Amino acid sequence: MADPVALLSVRGLTVRYGSVTALHGVDLDVAEGELVSLVGPNGAGKSSALAAVSGLVRPAAGTVTVAGAVVSGLPPERVVRHGVALVPEGRNIFASLTVAENLALGATIRRNAAEVAADLERELERFPILRERYSQQAGLLSGGEQQQLAIARALMSRPRLLLLDEPSLGLAPRLVDLVFETVAQLRREGLTIVLVEQNATRAVEMADRTSVLRTGRIVRSGTADELGGGAAMAADYLGGAGVAS
């Protein structure tokens, strides 16, 4: 029996910023419903990979395919129409707009008002604080509240593939737990997720598979067991034989 076609397929992905090469011919496959994490030190190319998939940067070489359609080189608004949503590092919410307006922007590609309303209610149930802050300017939210808004806004496009870039960065431990619980819930709902995360141990443990990036190249890939479990993975990530932090 043939292997299932990956929802996301990346082949030979190279990203350059001027004379600096951030990614060197990276290959990555993510199946429908799978959670794949990307871990590695700062500057390893993790965010560049998500930026290339989402259309924020144009690859110097290689292809990105989503559900059989080549999206590499398309602008972000067209990539979103192929079912890809990015929650960027730093959240990038619109601070001068209300929570309601930010959420509405997430659904701008959609035309079925009843479905949008139903999805809005679901996200307000998922993140009750957003209901409480619904009419407030997003810039007045705490960091954790802004992260919840950024995730909810991305989900309002009803993506097939969710890209999460450092969702726990800078959050208090309680809110880090909330973020990981939300990611686990979305995975149970069947959403396909690529997670870039500084907390390597937790990312590896919750993912179906993990790829370790170093200096723009994938140096290890596998399940948590194949990567040696949490302790061995943390040792590599923090500067052992594998990846430095």
The total domain count for the chain is: 1
- For residue 124, being part of any structural domain is answered with no
- For residue 146, being part of any structural domain is answered with no
- Name the strands in the sheet holding 69-70, side by side, starting at the edge strand that comes first in the sequence: 20-30, 8-17, 61-66, 69-70
Question: Higher-confidence residue: 64 or 2?
Answer: 64
The confidence score (pLDDT) of residue 4 equals: 58
Lowest mean pLDDT among 32-41, 74-83, 108-117, 236-245: 236-245
Average pLDDT value for residue range 170-187 = 94
Per-residue pLDDT band at 61 (split at 50, 70, 90): very high
- For residue 173, being part of any structural domain is answered with no
The confidence score (pLDDT) of residue 242 equals: 37
- For residue 108, being part of any structural domain is answered with no
- For residue 198, being part of any structural domain is answered with yes
- For residue 111, being part of any structural domain is answered with no
- For residue 59, being part of any structural domain is answered with yes
Token readout for 73 is: 């080189």
Dist. CA 232–CA 165, nearest whole Å: 24
The confidence score (pLDDT) of residue 244 equals: 31
Question: What is the average pLDDT score of the chain?
Answer: 92
**Using one digit for the tens of pLDDT, what is the confidence trace for 127-139?**
999 999 999 999 9
Its domain, for residue 14, covers 1-83+191-245
| Contact between 102 and 139 (Cβ < 8 Å) | no
Global pTM value: 0.91
| Unique residue bearing structure tokens 């619904």 | 134
Q: Is the pLDDT of residue 241 over 80?
A: no
Average pLDDT value for residue range 94-103 = 98
Q: Is the pLDDT of residue 188 over 50?
A: yes
The confidence score (pLDDT) of residue 240 equals: 42
- Count the Cβ atoms, other than its own, within 10 Å of residue 42: 9
**Using one digit for the tens of pLDDT, what is the confidence trace for 204-236?**
999 999 999 999 999 999 999 998 865 566 566
CATH code for the domain in which residue 199 is found: 3.40.50.300
What is the percent of the chain with per-residue pLDDT over 90, rounded to a whole number?
Answer: 84
Could you please report the per-residue DSSP string of 11-70?
EEEEEEETTEEEEEEEEEEE-TT-EEEEE-STTSSHHHHHHHHHTSS--SEEEEEETTEE
Specify the length of the chain in residues: 245
Dist. CA 83–CA 67, nearest whole Å: 9
- For residue 55, being part of any structural domain is answered with yes
